[in-house]
Structure 1
Amino acid sequence: MKEQKIWLSPPHMGGSELKYIQNAFDTNWISQYGSNIDEFEECLENYLGNNSFVTALSSGTAAIHLALKLLNVEEGDIVICQSFTFVATANPILYLKAVPVFVDSEADTWNMCPNALEDAIKSSLQKGKKPKAIITVSLYGMPFKADEILEISRKYEVPVIEDSAEALGSRYKGQLSGTFGDLSVISFNGNKIITTSGGGILVSKNEDYKNRALFLATQAKENKEYYSHSEQGYNYRISNILAGIGIGQMEILNERIDQKRQNHDFYREKIAQIENIELFSEPDDDFYSNYWLNTILIKKESGTSKEEVRKKFSENNIETRYLWKPMHLQPLYCAYDFFGNDLSGTLFDNGLCLPSGTNLTEGCKDRIAKVLENLW
């Protein structure tokens, strides 16, 4: 009989989510209003600290879109974006008919390269176009080099949108991811470290941004006795039911972070014995990753491709996945400017994501270890 599937990063409920969902049903607030939404936002503001103001939304993508709107990005404006990421980071730029300019990764964190970022800004300025925003990502839970990126942001007076969709609970020099950007984004999609099924938040540093985001996320409905709209809005608010799931999930967030990091310890121990694989890990003590996904690089000298490794896992009913294909290599985005040496392309060519669910049992780990041990 075929063994049970081991998924990459499945949802993992704690149990208390049901009482908050029941509250939504009992009070009949099941749409985009209700006490769960307020409580969820308050939980996150308390967790993040740093005078964070949180707006709970339908997705992380919606949060990026609203962040760009809050920074007054319009048609023809330049937005600099990390290339090595999921497409949801970049798509909102096109929503606004702005122009993405993509920046490569650096080797320590796989996130935005400060040198390539500065080259991109200088190039834009030489063309007479000052970028409106920088979107940097904390990929797979690894924080970006915040000191260097923010220094460049301040130097050229270009605000930062921090896409920490994958990095809730990660820290850089002790400060939580999601609190570095002028505006920041966290996702609660079904595969994230905690989930609301579908959902995300926009984190801002002032209450005016929060209020403006809430206005835009609820169809830009003006405060009148009738439906009055003077500008375009969006249906981006989270529902009271999903916010209830989020409250329950926040109660177990620290436990989930510990479980993710224990998964990384497991992989580090196993992969240390395999010379043909390199495990992506924190470069130094400044970085504390939630290790949302554990990722590996298959060394070129191994003579084995990422596809061969993926197939061997698949034959054992274990899900793995390629690393994100960089935006500058995507058909949708390949015509836009790109700055860097294509390190992200090399990572894509040789990398793989391994199962990293917080519900991995010892039996699951034994099966994964057996595949790793028999790759060569």
Structure 2
Amino acid sequence: MNKPILLSTPHIGNEELQFVKQAFDTNWIAPIGPNVDAFEQEFCQIIGGSYAAAVSSGTAALHLALQLVGVAPGDEVFCSTLTFTATANPIIYLGGKPVFIDSDRISWNMNPNLLQEALQKRAYFGKLPKAVIVVHLYGQSADIDPILQVCNQYNIPLIEDAAEALGSTYKQRSPGTFGKVGIFSFNGNKIITTSGGGMLVSDDDKLIGKAKFLATQARDPAPHYQHSEIGYNYRLSNVLAGIGRGQLQVLKGRVAARRRNFQIYQQALNDIPGIQFMPEANFGISTRWLTCLTIDPDKFGANREDIRLKLAQEKIETRPVWKPLHLQPVFANCEVIGGEIAEDLFTKGLCLPSGSNLIDEDIARVINSIKMIYLNSRKSASSIISSLK
């Protein structure tokens, strides 16, 4: 029986053990601690950031980021629509109203032109959003310069959701370091993992200090437990931060492995009619966190869902690309600007197994299975045509 091939599994080695052992040896298990401090500093060194706060998840980081830029009940927040729901959920936590922006074809990320047009209209009516969240999708940076330029023009803070983009570049800089705040995720399926965790980064030291205060139950500096604000239990544990420190040491190798996976898939499948791989925009380098492609059913002979289900029968896990948030039932009443490109990418888009710990035999099995699906679909189409003659 074939073993399952999963989409993107954690990839842990020996580097992490020394830091975890150190936490155990010193009995420093609880949130905060020397591994947390070092993880924040080492992370900033790698991405070129100034200040960082390690927290329990990327979602927690986004929640804090939105609160720190002043989002309050009734405020609009512009947000990429082609993303995971965790990008927009914190807007709702704070009583805000998401407004979703469509993708472009170049990067699959937020369309800068649509954002500019939308902000111009909002400015005319005196109803600018409180913030803009741009997502760097599937390991590829959005086109940050025009997005940041228009945000600065209207004095709107830009929050970068770089949860999927650690290790990528935009004009030789790390996404997540351009806006007012950037957030990263270390969930189990990401480029590096702490099993669960996130990071909030900014050039504003006061903002990061406030984030750490809120993430530690907003405890006032008093010898007793005193609280003047509502806070959260969002800080990362010293043990998990130790895992993160070890993972940072192998980040470059993890990125190289995922890019290699993509190249193997592309070389093997690029000539099959109807298959197009997610492009790499010329303004940066993608990590290829997930290898994503689109399927034209008229040319391939089967649609994305047919392929996904047939691969599942072979114990190969694939996923559709993110369902646009404006199509999600929970956001049914939210405004969307554009949407057609994101919808098309969702209808045709498929994510292949992409983990940095995939072996060549696994990749070959995925490739051969897709080729067989194509050949069988063409045979079926030929049989139907022959029967009609």
With the shorter chain as reference, the TM-score category is over 0.9
Tell me, what secondary structure is at the counterpart of 1:352?
A: strand
Name the CA distance, whole Å, in 2 between partners of 1:102 and 1:52: 30
Please give the secondary structure, in 2, of the residue aligned with 1:332. Answer: helix
How many angstroms apart in 2 are the aligned matches of 1:196 and 1:203? 17
Instruction: Check the 8 A contact 1:119/1:339 in 2, yes or no.
Output: no
Q: What residue number does 2:85 align with?
A: 87
Partner-residue secondary structure (3-state), 1:66: helix
Q: Larger deviation: 210-219 or 117-126?
A: 117-126
Kept after mapping to 1: 8 A contact 2:137/2:164: yes
Q: Which has the higher helix share?
A: 2
Alpha-carbon offset, residue 145 of structure 1: 0.3
Give the whole-Å Cα distance in 2 for the aligned partners of 1:314 and 1:127.
50
Aligned partners of 2:107 and 2:141 also within 8 Å: yes
Q: Could you tell me how far apart the structure 1 residues matched to 2:99 and 2:269 are?
A: 36
Q: Which residue of 2 aligns with 1:199?
A: 197
The structure 2 residue matched to 1:304, chosen from 302, 305, 308, is: 302
What stretches of structure 1 of length at least 5 have no aligned partner?
none
Aligned to 2:355: 357
RMSD between aligned alpha carbons? Answer: 1.1
**Distance in 2 (alpha carbons) for counterparts of 1:267 and 1:223:** 55
Counterpart in the other structure of 1:73: 71
- Match of 1:162, SS state, is strand
Counterpart pick for 2:286 among 270, 273, 289? 289
Q: Per-residue displacement from partner, 1:204-247 (whole Å, max 9, x unpaired)?
A: 11211110100000000011001111111000000011001001
- C-alpha separation in 1, matches of 2:77 and 2:369: 43
- Structure 1 residue 287: Cα displacement: 1.8
Count residues in correspondence.
Answer: 373
- Tell me which of 149, 158, 161 is aligned to 1:160: 158
Q: Which amino acid aligns with 2:291?
A: N
- AA in 2 matched with 1:142: Q
Q: Quick check: 366-375 or 345-354, which moved more?
A: 366-375
Aligned equivalents of 1:165 and 1:55: distance in 2?
Answer: 14
CA contact (8 A) 2:265 2:363 kept: no
Query: Which of residues 116, 124, 130 in structure 2 aligns to 1:132?
Result: 130
Aligned equivalent of 1:214: 212
Look up the match of 1:13: 12
Q: Residue type matched to 2:4 in 1?
A: K
Can you list the C-alpha shifts for 1:111-137, whole angstroms capped at 9, x where unaligned? 001121123223433443221100000
| Partner residue in 2 for 1:318 | 316
2:344 corresponds to: 346
1:238-261 per-position Cα deviation (integer Å, ceiling 9, x unaligned) = 001100100111110011011011
Distance 1:340 1:119 in 2: 11
Q: Which amino acid letter does the alignment assign opposite residue 323 of structure 2?
A: K
- The answer (yes or no) to whether the contact 2:163–2:183 under 8 Å persists in 1 is yes
Please tell me whether residue 36 in structure 1 is matched to residue 35 in structure 2. Answer: yes
2:94 to 93, 96, 101: 96
| Between 88-97 and 22-31, the greater mean CA deviation after superposition | 22-31
2:250 match: 252
Q: Is the 8 A contact 1:24 1:241 kept in 2?
A: yes
- The aligned amino acid for 1:178 is G
Offset, 1:52: 2.1
Residue 29 of structure 1: CA displacement?
Answer: 1.1
- Contact 2:101–2:339 (CA under 8 A) maintained in structure 1: no
Displacement, 1:341? 4.4
Aligned position for 2:180: 182
